[in-house]
Amino acid sequence: MIRETIKEGPSVAEALDAALEEMGVQQDAVAYEVLEEPGRGVFGRKGRDAKVRVWLTEEYVAELESAGENDEDEGDESFEPTTGEDGGERRGFEATEPSELSEDEIDQIADEAVAVLNEILACFQLAPEIEEYEGDEGEIILDIVGDDLGILIGRHGRTLEALQTVVSSITNRRIERRFPVVVDVSGYKYRRRLKIEEIAKRAADRAKRQGRPVSLRPMSSFERKVVHVALRNDRRVTTASEGEEPFRCVVIDPGK
């Protein structure tokens, strides 16, 4: 685990957020020092970024070391799967599970999704390669591969999330059914998912060890769903999304 890092950003808050993301922890686990305040640009030039040094607190490191020495799997507690906006049923076309369709039918859906994605990319005057493959749960993953594609990701992946919403909506309307389609850019979501899963499992360990709920920082709907899925089979805890956008977050509760 990274114990200390230095990050820059347009503001102190954004630099700190970048550090937390890299370290895979929440803000209550760190202390930080502002090395440089952001500077205002002049004559149309970009201003100086803020710079922060962030490190794990001694208390958090002690907790980690203690957990490593006393790690026990207590699996006798009740578990209720999370439902709702991040994992529940949505209105619209009838949902179709990948197992309900033949390979030819899934190929046709994938072709339609690729066509929709290409139409949208053309509006950006982009024609990158699209790699198509099947996800762990049978979903279709369309990975846009190429150079200088940051415009499709956006800050914290928000543009990519919006792109997936549009592609899924148009594809579902054309095929007249709801089928899981994931849009990624050079594996960004895959790497992000692995990091979020690690954060979720570490937070679940903390919630159980401390005997109280742990609230993760505000996350996008994609990130919240990753947390719910990562912990849905963890009998020690339950998860729920709380709050309003853009501050909606996941709370991990160890129960009794």
pLDDT digits (tens, 9 = 90+) for 23-69: 767 677 788 888 888 877 555 556 688 888 888 888 777 766 665 44
Q: What is the mean pLDDT of residues 91-115?
A: 82
Q: pLDDT at residue 184 above 90?
A: yes
Mean pLDDT across the chain? 80
Q: How far apart are CA 210 and CA 206, in angstroms?
A: 6
Reference 128, options 116, 117, 137; nearest CA is 117
Instruction: Quickly state the pLDDT bin for 15 (edges 50, 70, 90).
Output: confident
pLDDT more than 90, % of the chain: 25
Q: pLDDT at residue 168 above 80?
A: yes
Give the global pTM: 0.58
Report in angstroms the alpha-carbon separations of 236 from 87, 210, 256: 19, 12, 9
